[in-house]
Amino acid sequence: MKQVKEPSFDPIEDLRKAGIRLEVLRYLAIGIFVILTGRLWYLQVMNTAAFAEKAEQNRTRILTIPARRGVIFDRKGRVLVTSQPSYNIVISRKDVKNFSELSDLLVANLDEIDKDWLSRRFEAAKFEAKYESIVVKEMATAADVSWVEAHQYEYPMIRAEEAPRRFYPYAIMAAHALGYVGEVDKKELNDSASPFNKEKGYKLGDIIGKSGIERTYNEILMGKDGERTVVVDSRGRIQREISRNEPVPGRDLYTTLDLDIQKMAEDQTDTMPAGRGVIVVSDPNNGEIFALVSHPAFNPNVFSLSSKTDEGKDKIRELYEDSDKPLFNRATQGTYPPGSTWKLMTSVAGLNEGVITPENSRIQDGGIQLGNYYMNSLSNYGMPDVVTSIARSADGYFYRLGLKMGAERFEKWVKIFRFGERTGVDLPREVSGTIPTRQVKENITRNIMKRRKTENGQPWTEQDDEAARKAAKWTEYDMAASAFGQGTNAATPIQLLRYVGGLAVGGRMYTPHLFLKAEPGTDREGKSHPEAKFEDRNQYQVPMNEAIHDIVRKGMWQAVNAGGTAGAAAVEGFDVCGKTGTAQVASNDKAGSKNKDHAWFMSFAPRDKPEMAMVILTENAGFGGKQSAPRAKPIYEDYYRRTRGLPDPAAVVSAAADVNKQ
């Protein structure tokens, strides 16, 4: 029946036709395989290099191992600055999907972290496009770190990152000498004149010295970060380490500072009436600085421990905005008229030039009529000799000495003393000050006139040059004022320290410096260095024969020990020699302490074999003899007692109290 119904169907023919169609299927299969093979050829043979690189970038991460920064010691090996192991808690931004969930998580599990602060932090981080990671906590506690490490698998976006912190155990003490550290600026990286530019191998994120010896000796202190290359999985979890470059630690550095003297000096600046001033102490025999205080100071820990927290940022802003400028190093950057401390310079100049002689140095003291101007003198000792004039700070004597000497010879000696030049102290951004010379007066006058003309939109002509020269004519008044330390005269405390040290040792001027030695070690380029010591290439001699040196010492000794202006500095048995000075403050602000004069006291001791030179400046306090000389006394006393092995009076008192108790 079926065959009748479908007569056309032939099973043999059906299979034959099907067989032909199977061939079609086979060619289809072959075609598909050719296409797939072609694609594989394209990916695996033609473009394999590009894909291999992508795979490598996928799986490897280079993590830095921070190098330890060198420790800074005082001259006796006491630690002044060190680096603490510390961790930051960091979020890798890419892997965060929900910030609010994450912040709940962090608040719940990290110590002392504030939700509001975190949300502000995340908000702020949106604009920090540059960085892949957000620091959510600095100086994480051990509990924080262990929580993060325990939950690495659940929350791979939270990491604990090693970030050693610069730590200044004495906080504010010697802050201006030591400086502080921070991340290198982009501006500095791109500035070819900067010591921290890219060509020198610095890169974004490097911690460098920002001021003080941290900055000057950054090359010694800073190590070279190591690197480890690790394999990560697709979620960024570290699987294993492929290679490791150990970091090169920075070299330890010994400063010339003496912690004991520094402490005493800090105590003295703390009580300065206007809250501003300087004390610098050095060894006059080589320029080593024992103590450097610029007051007010700052706490360098603020920069290294909390620069990324809101609290720390506020503190840093306060430091910048404070009108007393705590970040400003008054010792090397502040310039003040040297006042009467300058009289030693004038004396040495006059004696060397023969204007006066050791045998005959008597000149009239008291006020003087200069043209139609009467120049007052606070002293009138008749016809004093130079020693008395130094001891009593006889202004009238030095007016006349200056006038006798004349500008030519006077200026020659200003330059021999190298006023108006940087001392070369090993601190950044030292200024050079201004000297009272004809050229300087002319420059200042011309600049003022020029400014006035430009403000009125007028051009500066040759006639104007001539007019400026006339206006800046060196008068007798200029000569007299310059001779006793006023005029266009401004010096830094560190310049006066070099000066007084030179006076103490008979004219040898050593460069004041803070660097004592550095331990041997390897630098950032991998070169090894032996122990390094300070080399004073800048020292020089101011001509000063024995007779002149005697006069200087006698005058300064008498100022302290024989009824002179600086009696308050006298220390029994130690022969302190000194000279007070009062720097007149020109100010329109009649009321308030800012109008008061700055008080100077420069000194050295003991007279015959000086061990210590010191400059004290008390800003807006009044007379040097009253305000600054008394502050030298406890510092000398303490040093004298310690070096001579005398008992500590405080200890004696407390021992006595103990005896009484028993």
Residue 239 or 439 with smaller CB distance to other proteins: 239
Residue 107 or 231 with smaller CB distance to other proteins: 231
b (16+ CB within 10 A) / e for 470-504: eebebebbbbbbbbbbbbbbbbbbbbbbbbbbbbb
Residue 119 or 239 with smaller CB distance to other proteins: 239
Q: Do the beta carbons of residue 600 and residue 339 sit within 8 Å?
A: yes
- In angstroms, what is the minimal distance from the CB of 105 to other proteins? 23
- In angstroms, what is the minimal distance from the CB of 12 to other proteins? 9
What is the residue-wise DSSP string for 98-142? -HHHHHHHHHHHSTT--HHHHHHHHHHHTT-TT-SEEEEESS--H
Residue 5 or 644 with smaller CB distance to other proteins: 5
- In angstroms, what is the minimal distance from the CB of 91 to other proteins? 20
> Tokens for 591?
């009321």
- In angstroms, what is the minimal distance from the CB of 130 to other proteins? 21
List, in order, residues 6 or more apart from 144 with CB less than 8 Å away.
Answer: 87, 89, 110, 111, 137, 160
Residue 41 or 373 with smaller CB distance to other proteins: 41
Q: Do the beta carbons of residue 344 and residue 507 sit within 8 Å?
A: no
List, in order, residues 6 or more apart from 280 with CB less than 8 Å away.
Answer: 289, 291, 292, 293, 331, 493, 494, 497, 512, 614, 615
Please give the Cα distance from 147 to 110 (Å, whole number): 8
- In angstroms, what is the minimal distance from the CB of 227 to other proteins? 20
Q: Do the beta carbons of residue 367 and residue 376 sit within 8 Å?
A: yes
- In angstroms, what is the minimal distance from the CB of 25 to other proteins? 6
Please give the Cα distance from 240 to 61 (Å, whole number): 11
Binding site for other proteins (CB under 8 A): 2, 6, 8-9, 11, 13-15, 17-19, 21-22, 24-26, 28-30, 32-33, 35-37, 39-41, 43-45, 47-48, 50-52, 54-56, 58-59, 231-235, 239
- In angstroms, what is the minimal distance from the CB of 49 to other proteins? 8
Torsion, Cα of 420, 425, 430, 435 (10° steps):
-10
DSSP structure class, residue 407: H
The CA–CA distances, whole Å, from 5 to 8, 14, 16 equal 9, 17, 22
Residue 139 or 238 with smaller CB distance to other proteins: 238
Residue 9 or 320 with smaller CB distance to other proteins: 9
Q: Do the beta carbons of residue 380 and residue 399 sit within 8 Å?
A: no
- In angstroms, what is the minimal distance from the CB of 228 to other proteins? 17
Residue 156 or 312 with smaller CB distance to other proteins: 156
Determine whether 185 is exposed, middle or buried from the number of CB atoms within 10 Å of its CB (0-12, 13-18, 19+): middle
- In angstroms, what is the minimal distance from the CB of 13 to other proteins? 7
- In angstroms, what is the minimal distance from the CB of 118 to other proteins? 27
State which amino acid sits at residue 276: R
Residue 36 or 143 with smaller CB distance to other proteins: 36
Residue 32 or 655 with smaller CB distance to other proteins: 32
Residue 48 or 84 with smaller CB distance to other proteins: 48
- Rounded to 10 deg, the angle between the 343-353 and 493-505 helix axes is 40
- In angstroms, what is the minimal distance from the CB of 243 to other proteins? 15
Residue 43 or 656 with smaller CB distance to other proteins: 43
- In angstroms, what is the minimal distance from the CB of 26 to other proteins? 5
Alpha-helical (H) ranges within 361-492 are 386-392, 395-416, 438-455, 462-471, 476-483
Residue 29 or 378 with smaller CB distance to other proteins: 29
Please give the Cα distance from 173 to 79 (Å, whole number): 12
Residue 61 or 187 with smaller CB distance to other proteins: 61
The CA–CA distances, whole Å, from 363 to 346, 490, 579 equal 14, 27, 20
Q: What are phi and psi of 69, to 5 degrees?
A: -80, 145
List, in order, residues 6 or more apart from 610 with CB less than 8 Å away.
Answer: 284, 285, 501, 504, 505, 604
Please give the Cα distance from 303 to 298 (Å, whole number): 10
- In angstroms, what is the minimal distance from the CB of 50 to other proteins? 7
- In angstroms, what is the minimal distance from the CB of 102 to other proteins? 19
- Return the SS3 of 421: coil
Pick the closest to residue 426 from 211, 593, 235, 581 (CA basis). Answer: 211
- In angstroms, what is the minimal distance from the CB of 5 to other proteins? 9
> Tokens for 88?
């930051």
Q: Do the beta carbons of residue 255 and residue 72 sit within 8 Å?
A: yes
Residue 79 or 232 with smaller CB distance to other proteins: 232
Pick the closest to residue 564 from 390, 346, 364 (CA basis). Answer: 390
